[in-house]
Amino acid sequence: MSDSLRGLFEAVRDGRLDPVEAERRARETLQADPCENLEFARVDHHRAARQGFPEVIYGQGKTPAQVAAIAQAIVNRGHSLLITRTDTAAFESVAKLVPDARFHEQARIIERRTEIPRGRGVVLVAAAGTSDIPTAEEAAISAEVMGNDVDRLYDVGVAGLHRLLAERERIAAARVLIVVAGMEGALPSVIGGLVRSPVIAVPTSVGYGSSFGGMTALLAMLNSCASGVAVVNIDNGFGAAAVASAINHLE
């Protein structure tokens, strides 16, 4: 942008452009909308440049046709495709326009990978119980699509500490950790006390009664007595992956 603004000034200096037209073009440049407007959505094609990964499609609340149209717009620009919280119906629509897209049913993800910069270390995804795996997979696959090596460590809940302690080395080896747990959400506190790497905690809606759809795990994680823990929304595996990937891509 800097160059073209300077270019305008140079063109004016050289008499190739008059100031009024130059001003009009300067304004146009400065306001240029990098978004492709699909009426119901403005696809933000500058996001990869600005934030390190292209726009991700949040599938919930969008019709299959809307999802597919946005997906196509993204793929057309040669960007990586990542659709979260989606389903079979959306995949059928997407597959017609993006035939090589893949659907991960458990993780509710549709994706199509392109070459992107690799993160520097390993992102470990730990899950407390078997029922937490769908959210853990959302995190793991998202992190992979974003260019990270992922190590999965599942069913290591705190009521059986030896399962966790037996994997201390893998835990210590990670550059970033995503820790997924429902119910009382204690796993991030225990892991947070073992490592010096940052821990991204993901509460899940696994549980019943006073687990309140994951609220209990969320609150527990926010109140962790371990100090290197930050938290994302309930069941938000993707969000954790986005933070972890941002960290893992730091030079």
Number of amino acids touching its own copies (CB under 8 A): 118
Question: Least distance from C-beta 118 to its own copies, angstroms?
Answer: 15
CB nearer to its own copies: give 32 or 92: 32
Q: Candidates 50, 99, 100, 115: give the one binding its own copies (CB under 8 A).
A: 50
Question: Least distance from C-beta 234 to its own copies, angstroms?
Answer: 3
Q: Candidates 97, 131, 144, 170: give the one binding its own copies (CB under 8 A).
A: 131
- Is residue 184 within 8 A of residue 227, CB to CB? The reply is no
Question: Least distance from C-beta 14 to its own copies, angstroms?
Answer: 9
CB nearer to its own copies: give 52 or 99: 52
97 interacts with its own copies by CB under 8 A: no
| Neighbour tally for 97: CB within 10 Å | 15
Q: Candidates 92, 105, 130, 173: give the one binding its own copies (CB under 8 A).
A: 130
Rg (CA), the chain: 22
Q: Candidates 42, 102, 104, 113: give the one binding its own copies (CB under 8 A).
A: 42
Which residue do the tokens 């090589």 mark? 100
Distances (CA, A) of 163 to 154, 166, 182, 187, 221: 10, 5, 17, 12, 21
Question: Least distance from C-beta 148 to its own copies, angstroms?
Answer: 13
| Residue 184 DSSP symbol | T
231 interacts with its own copies by CB under 8 A: yes
Q: Candidates 12, 68, 91, 151: give the one binding its own copies (CB under 8 A).
A: 12
Distance from C-alpha of 243 to C-alpha of 251, rounded to nearest angstrom: 15
- For residue 36, the SS3 value is strand
| Neighbour tally for 146: CB within 10 Å | 29
CB nearer to its own copies: give 100 or 227: 227
Distance from C-alpha of 128 to C-alpha of 158, rounded to nearest angstrom: 7
229 interacts with its own copies by CB under 8 A: yes
Question: Least distance from C-beta 104 to its own copies, angstroms?
Answer: 15
Q: Which of residues 209-228 bind its own copies (CB under 8 A)?
A: 209-228
| Neighbour tally for 40: CB within 10 Å | 11
Select from 54-62, 71-79, 90-98, 108-116 the region that touches its own copies (CB under 8 A). 54-62
CB nearer to its own copies: give 110 or 156: 156
Helix (H) or strand (E) holding 101: none
The burial class, CB within 10 Å (0-12 / 13-18 / 19+), for 65 is exposed
Q: Candidates 111, 180, 197, 237: give the one binding its own copies (CB under 8 A).
A: 197
Retrieve residue 115's tokens: 């070459």
